[in-house]
Amino acid sequence: MLTARVEAVLRGVADLDDTIRRLQAFETVGADVLYAPGLTSLDQVMEVTSALTKPFNVLAPFIRGATLADFAQAGAKRVSVGGALARVAFGSLMTAAKEMRKDGAFDWMGGISASNGLDELLS
């Protein structure tokens, strides 16, 4: 499976028409999935997906509050979270480290989950 990625929006180029043209060019030469990370609204996702015939992947963290159902309704066939899960984990790590360093306290341990819960979630 070949995924073609257009990073214009992610790199600050706000020309959505150009992004669509690039995605269409990748579609024409045989890309199986199309991806333009950095879209910031469901309206943008809908505009892009309505111009394509191949599945479109959306990067969810840029569109706060949207659900899988919202993305599907906007035409996205795949949803990625990029590094967001790792960043959430890093945030918890930083909070715990700051508490230990500043206060010499370990109250952050109250948020520890049982390892069997993670095993169950990932199975």
The answer on pLDDT for 119 being more than 80 is no
For 24-54, write each residue's pLDDT tens digit: 999 999 999 999 999 999 999 999 999 999 9
Provide the pLDDT for residue 14: 87
Average pLDDT in the chain: 92
pLDDT digits (tens, 9 = 90+) for 63-89: 999 999 999 999 999 999 999 889 988
* pTM of this structure: 0.80
From residue 7, give the alpha-carbon distance in Å to each of 53, 61, 97, 120, 121.
19, 15, 35, 35, 32
CB 10 within 8 A of CB 39: no
CATH code of the domain made up of 3-81? 3.20.20.70
Q: Which of 17, 13, 62 is nearest to 37 (CA)?
A: 62
Listed by start position, the domains of the chain span 3-81, 85-112
